[in-house]
Structure 1
Amino acid sequence: MTEPRPRVTLGPGELVGLAALVALFVGLITLMVTREPIFSLIVFGGTFVLDLVVLAMLMLAITPNRPADGERQPETKND
């Protein structure tokens, strides 16, 4: 028999790290363009929060849902 492939998912630390990396990139680009450190910190913070929300929504979209309370799971026949 073939074994099912393990599902590779990102952990919470990896998701926060990815959001921080993207926000750092946007913050540095903003700093280089405007030369205003306070404004670039604001852009960094806003981008970080926005990235976290978007990544969380994407993880919810790909995570299989459990059946709701009271629902039955479809029965499978092993013929």
Structure 2
Amino acid sequence: MTTPSRQDRLKPLEYIVLSAIISVFIGLVVLLSTRQPVLSLVFFGIAFIVTLVTIAMLSLAVKPDEAEKIDLGEQDKGH
């Protein structure tokens, strides 16, 4: 059984951080334009969820290259 690489283990964290950065930006834009903190928090939450789901779906749509196909085949043989 092979252990996942550090890059593979940190990929979900990368998605969450990227989604949080985009959501903070949207929340700040709403806060500075409307001066309503509750509305800003609502937009932050919605933007976080939508961005996270969008990034995850786009990452699932990417087809693996030849090296990844070989790696997946080796992992299947191990189980």
TM-score under structure 1 normalisation?
0.67
How far the C-alpha of 1:63 sits from its partner, in A, is 4.4
Percent identity, please: 43
* 2:32 alignment partner in structure 1: 32
Number of equivalences: 58
Any stretches of 5+ residues in structure 1 without a counterpart?
Answer: 1-7, 67-79
Match of 2:41 in 1: 41
Structure 1 residues 36-72: Cα deviation after superposition (integer angstroms, max 9, x where no partner): 00000000000000001100100100143x8xxxxxx
Aligned to 1:73: none
Shift in Å, 1:21: 0.2
Q: CA RMSD in A?
A: 1.9
Whole-angstrom distance in 1 between the partners of 2:54 and 2:14:
14
Gaps of 5+ in 2: 1-6, 70-79
Which has a greater percent of helix?
A: 2
Query: Which entry has the higher C-alpha Rg, 1 or 2?
Result: 1
Q: Distance in 2 between matches of 1:28 and 1:49?
A: 16
For residues 6-39 of structure 1, the C-alpha deviation after alignment (integer angstroms, 9 at most, x for no partner) is: xx87700011000000000000000000000000
TM-score by length of 2: 0.67
Q: Which amino acid in the other structure matches residue 58 of structure 1?
A: L
User: Which structure is richer in relative contact order (CA contacts within 8 A, separation 6 or more)?
Assistant: 2
